[in-house]
Amino acid sequence: MSRLIHSNSGHIRSMQISNTQLFIFVEGKQSDPYFFAKVCKASLPDSIEFEISTAQQISGGAGGKEALISYFRCLRRKSALISFFEGKRTACIFILDKDIDDIKRKQLRSTHVIYTQYYDVQNYIFEHGDLVTGVAAAASIDPRKLHGVLGNSSEWCRRVSHLWRDWIALCFRLIEDGIRGEANYGAPSRIQTRNCGMTDTIALESLVRTLAQRTNISFDEMMRKVELSNKKIDRYFKTGQHHRIFKGKWFSLILADEVERIMTGQPHDCNGLAGRLPSTVAATINFNDPWIEYFKHRLCAVAAML
């Protein structure tokens, strides 16, 4: 069944004649609709009718953050972020992954735009979900085999994100120098011994040499630059802010590989495991825990305009 896609004007019209009061636009289709539907249900008064739409449902169906930003700007130009039509008031909210937009200083400023505090939605899923229950369901494993191995989800996130510290530093370095290369947030680490393993120092040195040659500087100078980035990364870790700089979508790759390591030689369902983990872990989240207050405050601020 094909999805319904409207032109910008058509979408505005459809919102005006809908019974829905609050329209929530989210980036992705894998985790975002479920996660933010649960966030909104836990945050908004029962009297508010809301609807979750993905970026792919906007004109063109390309999806992603840029589609949402373009539509937000369209609504802002038309003064349609809050609309009053035939006695009914509607409002729009755009929820965007922070990514590293704060570091690049390119975040939009509007009551109608909510950025995640963490890098993306999946940071919340793996930080606040029950890893043991989610993994056991996704991989068809007796949960008792995982207790004491995966540990507390928050501690697990901190531990494994630190394993990729050198990769994050390389990504930061290239961003700061305006270089497009192999080390970027769009790709998983290429310098780990395995996804759940430590840095492969030989792979790290080889990649740094490649980057140095590409930018016409010496290997030693590039290493000095990377070390400066490492110091910045360490400040995030020391203050417990690793989720701001670690891409949440990487967690499922690491967790799936860790399950492979734990279950070596034992029966389990490993096919497509990394792709299933965000959904099964998300289903274990308590959406009444204190972390939701960040979203609740911002959602209710717009809902109060209705």
pLDDT digits (tens, 9 = 90+) for 98-127: 999 999 999 999 999 999 999 999 999 999
Can you give the pLDDT at residue 289? Answer: 97
Average pLDDT, integer, range 141-170: 94
Number of helical H runs and strand E runs in the chain:
13, 5
Which residue from 176, 196, 172 is spatially nearest to 185, judged by alpha carbons? 172
Average pLDDT, integer, range 59-87: 86
Question: Do the Cβ atoms of 144 and 133 come closer than 8 Å?
Answer: no
Looking at per-residue pLDDT, the higher value among 253 and 149 belongs to: 253
The pairing of strands 22-26 and 82-85 is unpaired
Distance of CA 192 to the CA centre of its chain: 22
DSSP 56: G
With a cut of 90, say whether residue 5 has pLDDT above it.
no
Confidence of residue 28 (pLDDT cuts 50, 70, 90): confident
pTM value?
Answer: 0.93
Question: Do the Cβ atoms of 285 and 278 come closer than 8 Å?
Answer: no
User: Rounded CA gap, 66 and 278, in Å?
Assistant: 23
With a cut of 70, say whether residue 62 has pLDDT above it.
no
With a cut of 50, say whether residue 88 has pLDDT above it.
yes
With a cut of 50, say whether residue 176 has pLDDT above it.
yes
Residues sharing a CB contact under 8 Å with residue 224, sequence separation 6 or more, in sequence order: none
Tokens 């394993």, located at residue:
163
Distances (CA, A) of 217 to 65, 191, 220, 226, 294: 34, 21, 8, 13, 44
Which residue from 141, 98, 164, 96 is spatially nearest to 277, judged by alpha carbons? 141
pLDDT per position as a tens digit, 177-213: 888 888 999 999 999 999 999 999 999 999 999 999 9
Confidence of residue 162 (pLDDT cuts 50, 70, 90): very high
**CB-based burial label for 221 (10 Å; 0-12, 13-18, 19+):** exposed
Beta bridge partners, 32, equal none
Can you give the pLDDT at residue 85? Answer: 80
Can you give the pLDDT at residue 86? Answer: 79
Can you give the pLDDT at residue 56? Answer: 84
With a cut of 60, say whether residue 6 has pLDDT above it.
no
Question: Do the Cβ atoms of 82 and 93 come closer than 8 Å?
Answer: no
Which residue from 131, 124, 247 is spatially nearest to 188, judged by alpha carbons? 247
User: Rounded CA gap, 13 and 190, in Å?
Assistant: 47
With a cut of 70, say whether residue 7 has pLDDT above it.
no
Confidence of residue 157 (pLDDT cuts 50, 70, 90): very high
Which residue from 97, 92, 120, 122 is spatially nearest to 108, judged by alpha carbons? 97
